[in-house]
Amino acid sequence: MAPVERSPTLLNHGSEDEMECRGYKTNSYKAFLCLSVVFLCGGGPVGVLLAMLVFRWRPDWKLRATKSRCPLYRADAVLLKDIYGQCWTETVDIIYVPVDECTLHVPDWLASYISASPDFHLDPKTQTVAAKQYGSCGQMPEGGDCSSYKEEDGDEDDEETSLTSANDKKRLCVRFFDHQHVRYIWNSNISCFTKLRGLDDTTPCSYFYQLGGLTREEQHRKCALYGENSIYIEVKSYSRLLFEEVLNPFYVFQIFSVILWSLNDYYIYASCIVVISVISISVELYEIRKQAETLRDMVALEAEVSVWRGDSGKTVCASVYEDIPGQELVPGDVITIPPYGTMMACDAVLITGNCIVNESMLTGESVPVTKTPLPNPPPTEGQDPCVYISEEHKRHTLFCGTQVIQTRYYGGEKVKAVVIRTGFVTAKGELVRSILFPKPMGFKFYQDAMRFLAVLAGLAVIGFSYSVYMMISFKAPVKEIILRALDMITVIVPPALPAAMTVGSVYAQRRLMKQGIFCISPPRINVSGKTKLVCFDKTGTLTEDGLDLWGVVPADMSVVKNAADLPRGALLAAMASCHSLTLIEGEMTGDPLDLKMFEATDWLLEEPGPDNTRFDILAPTVVKPVTADTFIMGASSQTPYEIGILRQFPFSSSLQRMSVITRTLGNRNMDVYLKGAPEMVASLCIKETVPPDFHTTLMRYTLQGFRVIAFAWKMLDTSIKFHHLQKIQRDQVETDLTFLGLMVMQNALKPETTPTIQQLREANIRTVMVTGDNMLTAVSVARNCRMVLSNDTVILVTANPPEEGQPAHITWTYSEHPTEDSVVQGQGQQPGKWDSGADMSEPLVEYDMSYQNIQIEEPEGTYHFAVSGKSFAVIRNHFPDLIPKMCVRGTVFARMSPNQKAQLVESLQDLGYCVAMCGDGANDCGALKTAHAGISLSEAEASVASPFTSKIPNIQCVPTVIREGRAALVTSFGSFKYMALYSMVQFVSIITLYSIDSNLGDIQYLYIDLAITTSVALFMGWQEAYPKLVPQRPLGSLMAPVNLFSVVGQVVLMIAVQVGTFVYLKQQPWFVPLKPDPKSDNILCYETTVVFSVTSYLYIVLAAAFSKGRPYRRPLYTNYVFMMSLMILLGFSTLLLLHPFTPLAKFIELKVDMPFHFRLVLLAIVSAYCIIVFVIEDFVVTSQVLRKLFRLRKKLPKNRYKLLEKELAENPDWPPVGETTYAVGEKYQDSTHS
Q: Kindly list the catalytic residues.
A: 537
Closest by CA to 420, choosing from 176, 211, 579, is 211
Look at residue 275 and give its three-state secondary structure: helix
Three state DSSP letters for 988-1029:
HHHHHHHCCCCCCCHHHHHHHHHHHHHHHHHHHCCCCECCCC
What is the CB neighbour count within 10 angstroms for residue 328? 19
Alpha-helix runs per DSSP H in 247-305: 249-263, 267-299
Decide: 992 and 1094 in contact? Cβ < 8 Å. no
Please tell me the distance from the alpha carbon of residue 218 to that of residue 313, in angstroms, as a whole number: 12
Q: What is the DSSP string of 938-1004?
A: --SGGGGGSSEEESSSSTTHHHHHHHHHHHHHHHHHHHHHHHHHHHHHHHHHHHHHHTTT----HHH
What angle in degrees, to the nearest 10, is found between the helix axes of 45-57 and 28-41? 120
Instruction: Please report, as a single letter, which amino acid is at residue 629.
Output: D
Cis amide prior to 1076 (ω within 30 degrees): no
Do 618 and 410 form a contact (C-beta atoms < 8 A)?
Answer: yes
The backbone region for 197, taken as left when phi is positive above 0, alpha when psi lies in -120 to 50, beta otherwise, is beta
Give the three-state DSSP class for 501.
helix
Task: Please tell me the distance from the alpha carbon of residue 1132 to that of residue 1129, in angstroms, as a whole number.
Answer: 5
CA 1135 to CA 1146: how far, in whole Å? Answer: 14
Instruction: Report the alpha-carbon distance of residue 392 to residue 655 in Å, rounded.
Output: 9
Q: Is the CB of residue 1034 less than 8 Å from the CB of residue 973?
A: yes
DSSP assignment of 648-716 equals: EEEEETTTTEEEEEEEETT-SS-EEEEEE-HHHHHHHB-GGGS-TTHHHHHHHHHTTT-EEEEEEEEEP
Residue pair 372/649 in contact (Cβ under 8 Å)? The answer is: yes
Distance (Å) of CA 1217 to CA 309, 796, 855, 859, 1220: 64, 9, 11, 9, 8
Q: What are the Cα distances from residue 539, in Å, to 656, 742, 769?
A: 15, 19, 10
For the chain, the maximum distance between any two Cα atoms, rounded to a whole number of angstroms, is: 128
Please list the helix, strand and coil fractions of the chain in percent, rounded to the nearest 5, in that order: 40, 20, 40
Rounded Cα distance between 969 and 1037, Å, is 10
Burial of 490 (0-12, 13-18, 19+ CB in 10 A): buried
Query: Cβ(493)–Cβ(980) under 8 Å?
Result: no
Positive/negative CA dihedral, 1090, 1092, 1096, 1099: positive
**Residues recorded for the chain:** 1234
Question: Do 372 and 350 form a contact (C-beta atoms < 8 A)?
Answer: yes
Q: Cα separations (Å) of 1188 from 152, 1031, 1194?
A: 70, 17, 10
177/1029 Cα distance (integer angstroms):
50
Give the phi and the psi of residue 796 in degrees, each rounded to 5. Answer: -80, 125
d(CA 495, CA 518): 30
Torsion over CA of 702, 704, 706 and 711, rounded to 10 degrees? -30
DSSP 745: E
Question: Which residues are within 8 A (CB) of 156 and not within 5 positions of it... i.e. 6 or more apart?
Answer: 1, 2
